[in-house]
Amino acid sequence: MSRKGNLVAGAVVAVAGAVLAACGGGSSGDATGGSAGQVTVYLGRHYGIEQVFNAFTAETGIAVRFTTGRDPELRERLKTEGKNTPADVYLAADAANLELAATDGLLAPLGSTVVTTAVPAVLRDSQDLWTALSVRARTVMRAARVPDAEAPRSYAALGDARWKGKLCLRPATHPYTQSLVAALIADGGVAGAERTVRGWVANNPTYLDSDTKILEALADGTCDVAVTNTYYLLRARSEGKDLAQAVWITEGPGTHVNVSGAGIATHAPNPAGAKRLIEWLATTGQRPFADANFEEPAAASVAPRAEVAALGTYRRDPIAVERFGALQPEAVKLLDRAGHR
């Protein structure tokens, strides 16, 4: 009896425990308690963000709890949770993610003059549903052995036959590539963008799903030229590894930039706290938010940190970053058609 009894009793207790945990689960693992002074963030970007949130909490007394995840999944979660969502803020890397959240009705208007004053319009949603908080340039990288004068000055020039077998790219599955091609479509139309992408593909590129690995491939001779975000280069330099040189795009509309940004969830339990956090991140918090990841601040009045500034000034592609969202499916189809991995 005792053995079976134990087995059954054990099972009953465990199931009861699971049910209890399920009921209380919403607030488990969060020591701060009290939702009035707390903002909940769904976080698709996680570069040293906790120190930034700690600074916000120290200044305002509002606690921040967050969960990380892949952006499309976080949006799906927001969507199905609907009115019951615990999320106040959706914070994502890549403008396409923010714009897709906006189109799906997951974000509420910010209604903040603090934000509109601080951040230029081209880096915000025209419906006021989200704002950029930092800017990252995605540009050409050359191996140190490639002379600066010979480096490509446009994305199309990466299709030049001289880079055959010497080009490293991020696969089409990554949002960075998708948004870059979305920008190419916005600037040069589908046909122009497709010519550019087919040019890359004709060079038989090496596809690596990590910007850091791409930079290492430049250093070890696998590739001569590549496309990555500049902060990966600076991050490697800060760790003592000088892997490549950044080359700004001077032909055509300029260097493609993308953003990290945030919006208030439509069904935020604490919209006031959410607004407070986003306003703080767009002003006082700009410094730590952008600096932690070697990005440029979104606020026009805040200068980038020294290492970022040392890369030199460049001409930003002036296209409104919000357009990446609507163009993303088109960009993905184009990449598939062109045979980009």
Among the listed residues 52, 56, 64, 86, the single contact to other proteins using CB under 8 A: 86
Q: Which stretch, 18-26, 110-118, 121-129, 159-167, contacts other proteins (CB under 8 A)?
A: 18-26
SS3 category, 136: strand
**Residue at token pair 């403008």:** 95
Taking the least distance from each CB to other proteins, the nearer of 131 and 328 is: 328
172 sits near other proteins (criterion: CB under 8 A): yes
The continuous run of DSSP H or E covering 41 comes out as: strand 38-43
10 Å CB burial of residue 143 (0-12, 13-18, 19+) is buried
Please list, in sequence order, all residues whose beta carbon lies within 8 angstroms of the beta carbon of residue 106, skipping any fewer than 6 positions away. 75, 78, 79, 90, 263, 265, 266
Q: Is 6 in the site for other proteins (CB under 8 A)?
A: no
Closest CA to 189 of 319, 34, 48, 50: 319
- Single out the segment in contact with other proteins by CB under 8 A; choices: 8-16, 158-166, 242-250, 302-310: 8-16
Nearer to other proteins by Cβ, of 63 and 118: the residue is: 63
The reply on whether position 204 binds other proteins by CB under 8 A is no
| Cα–Cα distance measured from residue 234 to residue 253, given in angstroms and rounded to the nearest whole number | 24
138 - beta bridge partners?
A: 229, 256
Q: Which stretch binds other proteins (CB under 8 A): 137-145, 159-167, 172-180, 294-302?
A: 172-180
Which pair of structure tokens corresponds to residue 292?
Answer: 């932690």
Given a contact cutoff of 8 angstroms between Cβ atoms, the answer to whether 186 and 319 are in contact is yes
Cα(180)–Cα(328) distance, integer angstroms: 9
The answer to the question of residue 285 lying near other proteins (CB under 8 A) is: no
Q: Which residues pair with 157 in a beta bridge?
A: none
- Which range of residues in 59-67, 113-121, 257-265, 275-283 is near other proteins by CB under 8 A? 59-67
User: Whole-number minimum distance, CB 300 to other proteins, in Å?
Assistant: 28
198 lies in the site for other proteins, by CB under 8 A: no
Contact partners, residue 289, CB within 8 Å, separation at least 6: 49, 52, 133, 134, 281, 297
> Nearer Cβ to other proteins, position 79 or 303?
79
Q: Which residues bind other proteins (CB under 8 A)?
A: 1, 3-4, 7-8, 11, 14-15, 17-19, 21-23, 25-30, 40, 46-47, 49-50, 65-70, 72-73, 76-77, 80-82, 84-86, 100, 171-173, 175, 178, 207, 209-213, 222, 232, 328-329, 332-333, 336-337, 341
